[in-house]
């Protein structure tokens, strides 16, 4: 009964004057008295947006060169205007007002405020998973509240200076649908953050229910390429359109759980190898093979330029019969490529699996050029 009364009251305020009501409704979170001592990277990620004048809605929207993926392997490539309009046809007028026009539903009115069931909250418009029940908490504000998104890349923050205050608006990363705002006034939560979301922006999928297709991570395939020092190889492969993740590591030797120091001695028989997880709908193994050959000189035996040793050899570790057949066919075709005239392609092909395991390299080797700058003389994707 209390919720209904407040709901009606809020609706009346909205009716009197929508612009004023918007500010009033967000009043409790606007100041943000808590949050001290909860300095997390996620907090920095979202709250620095508040002071970053360059990140204003509608500006700074540059289209990415290729598909974009999150750590959970969801395709979060921004949708086109046409696709958003098509998806929006299913929305109710109230959902349109909230999602497409940055509207706010009255407090305690949304159907998900008190939802305690276990499951996933997906974007009402494009179905991208945004929050989970394990990240939900009762903030008492009247809107569904979460302390963390499913994946930081799924929820973007934008500076919002409307209604006489500076706040951080949150949007779905894929369709840019309005979700609500994020505040750093939840000191008792693991992140200190309160993602204050409109029920109208969300759809709840209870555990055990079937997720819509658009909510699923992409079906991935994995490939392994050794082409000399993995720093540059990983860097380029990570940026190849359709690649979700590239990881530096060691493969093809006998030593279990090898370290970089052991690899450098050159007696483990491991090759510096990059594991590539890719989206077969956006690229394919043949395209990756072609790029792998552009990245290095496959005619050099057990070396790449100044890097000498079996750890720098050219080697493809194949997953399944189809990759093995494709890699062997590719190498035999490349042997007649004018680029390798008079030279023998030295690239080895071995099946991955069994004892041929991929061991991820130490953390300081991952994203080496992103972290440390510098670059290798290699072609861009």
Could you list the residues that contact Zn ion (CB under 5 A)?
Answer: 123, 125-126, 128, 172, 174-175, 177
Closest distance of CB 125 from Zn ion, Å: 5
Residue closer to Zn ion, measured from CB, 155 or 274 = 155
Q: Which of 7, 126, 172, 196 is catalytic?
A: 196
Please confirm, yes or no, whether 196 is among the known catalytic residues.
yes
Q: Which is nearer to Zn ion, 196 or 237 (CB)?
A: 196
Radius of gyration of the chain (CA): 25
Rounded least distance, CB 24 to Zn ion, Å: 27
Which candidate, 59, 52, 61, places its Cα nearest to that of 166?
52
Least gap, CB of 178 to Zn ion (angstroms): 10
Choice between 149 and 192, CB closer to Zn ion: 149
Q: Minimum CB separation from Zn ion for residue 79, in Å? A: 8
Looking at the Cβ atoms of 125 and 196, the one nearer to Zn ion is 125
Q: What is the DSSP string of 281-346?
A: TT--HHHHHHHHHHHS-TTSSSEETTEESGGG-EEEEE-HHHHHHHHHHHHHHHTTSGGGTTS---
Q: Which two tokens stand for residue 69?
A: 């993926």
Closest contact distance (angstroms) between CB of 99 and Zn ion is 8
Instruction: Please list, in sequence order, all residues whose beta carbon lies within 8 angstroms of the beta carbon of residue 360, skipping any fewer than 6 positions away.
Output: 247, 248, 249, 275, 366
* Shortest distance in whole angstroms from residue 87 CB to Zn ion: 8
* Strand bridging mode 314-318 / 348-351: parallel
Please, which residue, 95 or 185, has the CB nearer to Zn ion?
Answer: 95
Toward Zn ion, which CB reaches closer, 87 or 244? 87
Q: 252 CB contacts (<8 Å, ≥6 apart)?
A: 226, 269, 270, 271, 273, 315, 317, 350, 356
Given the residues 7, 172, 175, 229, select the one marked as catalytic: 229
Closer CB to Zn ion, residue 77 or residue 287?
A: 77
Check if 229 is active-site: yes
The dihedrals phi and psi of 77, each to the nearest 5 degrees, come to: -60, 130
Rounded Cα gap, residues 18 and 103, in angstroms: 10
Token pair, residue 117, equals 């069931």
Note every long-range contact of 340-346, with CB atoms under 8 Å and residues 24 or more positions apart, other chains counting.
340/298, 340/299, 343/299, 344/299, 345/298, 345/299, 346/298, 346/299, 346/300, 346/301, 346/302, 346/313, 346/314
Give the neighbor-by-neighbor strand order of the sheet with 314-318.
Answer: 348-351, 314-318, 221-227, 271-278, 243-251, 358-360
Measured in degrees and rounded to the nearest 5, phi and psi for residue 92 equal -80, 165
Q: To the nearest whole angstrom, how small is the minimum distance from the Cβ of residue 123 to Zn ion?
A: 3
d(CA 16, CA 25): 13
SS3 160: strand
Residues annotated catalytic, as ranges: 196, 229
């Amino acid at each position: 009964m209390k919720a209904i009364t407040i709901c009606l009251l809020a609706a009346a305020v909205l009716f009197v004057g929508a612009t004023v009501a918007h500010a009033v409704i967000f009043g409790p979170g606007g100041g943000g008295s808590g949050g001290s001592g909860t300095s997390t990277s996620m907090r920095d990620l979202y709250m620095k947006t508040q002071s970053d004048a360059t990140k204003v809605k509608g500006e700074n929207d540059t289209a990415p060169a290729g598909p974009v993926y999150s750590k959970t392997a969801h395709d979060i490539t921004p949708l086109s205007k046409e696709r958003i309009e098509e998806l929006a046809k299913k929305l109710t007028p109230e959902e349109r007002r909230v999602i497409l026009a940055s509207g706010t539903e009255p407090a305690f009115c949304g159907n998900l405020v008190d939802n305690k069931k276990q499951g996933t909250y997906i974007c009402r418009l494009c179905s991208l998973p945004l929050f989970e029940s394990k990240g939900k908490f009762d903030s008492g504000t009247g809107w569904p509240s979460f302390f963390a998104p499913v994946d930081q890349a799924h929820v973007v923050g934008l500076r919002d200076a409307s209604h006489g205050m500076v706040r951080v608006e949150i949007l779905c990363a894929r369709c840019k649908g309005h979700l609500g705002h994020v505040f750093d006034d939840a000191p008792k939560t693991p992140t200190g953050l309160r993602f204050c979301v409109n029920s109208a922006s969300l759809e709840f999928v209870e555990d055990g229910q079937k997720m819509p297709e658009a909510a699923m991570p992409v079906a991935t395939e994995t490939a392994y390429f050794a082409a000399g020092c993995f720093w540059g190889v990983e860097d380029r492969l990570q940026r190849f359109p359709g690649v979700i993740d590239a990881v530096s590591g060691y493969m093809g030797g006998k030593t279990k759980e090898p370290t970089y120091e052991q690899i450098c001695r050159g007696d483990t028989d491991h090759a510096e190898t990059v594991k590539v997880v890719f989206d077969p709908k956006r690229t394919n193994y043949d395209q990756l093979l072609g790029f792998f050959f552009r990245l290095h000189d496959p005619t050099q035996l057990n070396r790449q330029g100044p890097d000498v040793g079996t750890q720098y050899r050219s080697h493809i570790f194949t997953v399944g019969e189809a990759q093995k057949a494709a890699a062997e066919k590719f190498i035999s075709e490349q042997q007649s490529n004018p680029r390798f005239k008079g030279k023998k392609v030295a690239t080895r092909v071995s099946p991955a699996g069994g004892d041929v395991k991929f061991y991820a390299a130490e953390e300081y080797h991952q994203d080496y050029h992103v972290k440390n700058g510098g670059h290798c003389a290699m072609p861009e994707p």
